[in-house]
């Protein structure tokens, strides 16, 4: 089971992690939380009505990682649309973002917090690592967070397609991006094995 998720009887998944792996995942999840930022009203007193009617931003984030995590809902992936069509897409995306981004951010925060809490609750094993056991719901939160972490790292590495990923395997060891590449590939392996535990 080292390094790969395996299904648990009755649902859920388990993976053996060493102390370094636990530290890396936890650190990345904390960085993701910091990047996503606090939710609406987290700096203010609780007001359920204000939270219910809070509107999100209408413009896309300027940070490329946040743009990847919160992309425009309406865009033409096939090319550059005509000026009028592009303006309509921006308007639709702006409206969609205003009413959905707060909830999307809250979901990503909840997933990252679930990762951190489950790692913090681990009991060390005799060999310096631990076995992480997740329920089916926790597995889905981990899957969402692993996906967000890979999107964030992929954005920093400027990965846009499969060819970019192939180039990562050929980076020399002295390349400063190498540690981030190794984390990206390792998280991809974890994500893939976790997906397989959730399939019927």
pTM: 0.83
Is residue 1 exposed (0-12), middle (13-18) or buried (19+ Cβ within 10 Å)?
exposed
How many whole angstroms separate alpha carbon 200 and alpha carbon 198? 6
Output 10 or 139, whichever has higher pLDDT: 139
Q: For 165-188, what is the mean pLDDT?
A: 87
pLDDT digits (tens, 9 = 90+) for 29-83: 999 999 998 865 554 445 655 555 567 776 778 889 988 898 888 765 555 667 7
Each residue's pLDDT tens digit, 108-131 = 999 999 999 999 999 876 677 899
């Amino acid at each position: 089971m080292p390094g790969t998720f395996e299904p648990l009887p009755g649902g859920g998944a388990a993976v053996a992690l060493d102390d370094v792996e636990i530290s890396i995942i936890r650190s990345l999840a904390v960085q993701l939380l910091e990047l996503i930022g606090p939710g609406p009203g987290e700096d203010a007193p609780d007001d359920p009505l204000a939270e219910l009617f809070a509107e999100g931003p209408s413009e896309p984030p300027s940070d490329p990682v946040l743009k990847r995590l919160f992309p425009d809902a309406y865009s033409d992936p096939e090319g550059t649309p005509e000026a009028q069509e592009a303006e309509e897409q921006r308007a639709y995306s702006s409206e969609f973002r205003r009413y959905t981004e707060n909830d999307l951010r809250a979901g990503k925060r909840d997933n990252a917090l679930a990762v951190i809490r489950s790692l913090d609750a681990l009991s060390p094993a005799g060999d310096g690592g631990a076995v992480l056991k997740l329920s089916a719901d926790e597995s889905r939160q981990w899957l969402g967070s692993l996906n967000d972490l890979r999107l964030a790292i992929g954005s920093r590495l400027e990965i846009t397609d499969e060819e970019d990923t192939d180039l990562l395997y050929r980076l020399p060891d002295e390349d400063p991006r190498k540690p981030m590449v190794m984390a990206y590939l390792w998280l991809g392996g974890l994500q893939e094995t976790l997906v397989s535990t959730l399939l019927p």
